[in-house]
Amino acid sequence: MAGAMQPVGREILEYLRSTSLREIEPLRGLRAATDAIPESGWEAAPEQAQFLALLVQITGARRVLEVGTFTGYSTLAMAAALPEGGALVTCDMVEDYVNVGVPFWRLAGVDGLIEVRYGAALDTLAKMIDDGEKFDMAFIDANKKDYDTYYEQVLQLLPPGGLIAFDNVFWDGKVLNESRTEKSTVALRALNQKLHGDDRVSISMLPLNDGMTICWKRP
């Protein structure tokens, strides 16, 4: 009904996953491997990763950019959806996290499609801009306080019609509380407001896991 939304509790989430997820075995294995490390929970939820893969397929994106790899679960999902000749570039700073995912990328046969660029993403993206690189789609899931800068940089790397997806736009509900003044919370709240009024893009904010916003760069 208008003005209300069915809460997604454990039972609904289990139903969603049991009737929607089509995880290939390497994805299931990587999710289990990620669940075994202390930082489990930083990765995209499986339903988010599948949605990102669907966006790759719908748009026919040949070059995909990911800002924030972690263990590479969403990396694998998107790489497996690439068309022939496609490639994915993912940015991170911590090789140990990425190494959790590499064997599963290899198992899925997509390791040759993925290029990891290590270092501060702000610097990596700046170099991509200087080098004239272009991408068809981008997924941003890294330092929340830098989301706005990532956004402005990624916009320069996409042609009109390119897509940007942001994870964690709800930030566990903290964006609702104006008294929360942590840098990440303030940055996400400001970005959400900025995107709402930014006529350079069309947007849709979706209640997928911790919130995901999809932006389409207008001509």
Domain containing residue 124: CATH number = 3.40.50.150
With respect to residue 181, please indicate whether it lies within any of the assigned structural domains: yes
With respect to residue 29, please indicate whether it lies within any of the assigned structural domains: yes
With respect to residue 4, please indicate whether it lies within any of the assigned structural domains: no
Residue 116: phi and psi, rounded to 5, are -100, 130
* Cβ–Cβ < 8 Å for 215, 59: no
With respect to residue 3, please indicate whether it lies within any of the assigned structural domains: no
d(CA 156, CA 154): 5
Number of domains in the chain: 1
With respect to residue 197, please indicate whether it lies within any of the assigned structural domains: yes
pLDDT (tens digit, 0 to 9) for every residue of the chain, 219 residues total?
577 888 889 999 999 999 999 999 999 999 999 999 999 999 999 999 999 999 999 999 999 999 999 999 999 999 999 999 999 999 999 999 999 999 999 999 999 999 999 999 999 999 999 999 999 999 999 999 999 999 999 999 999 999 999 999 999 999 999 999 999 999 999 999 999 999 999 999 999 999 999 999 999
With respect to residue 88, please indicate whether it lies within any of the assigned structural domains: yes
Identify the domain containing residue 175 by its residue range.
Answer: 10-217
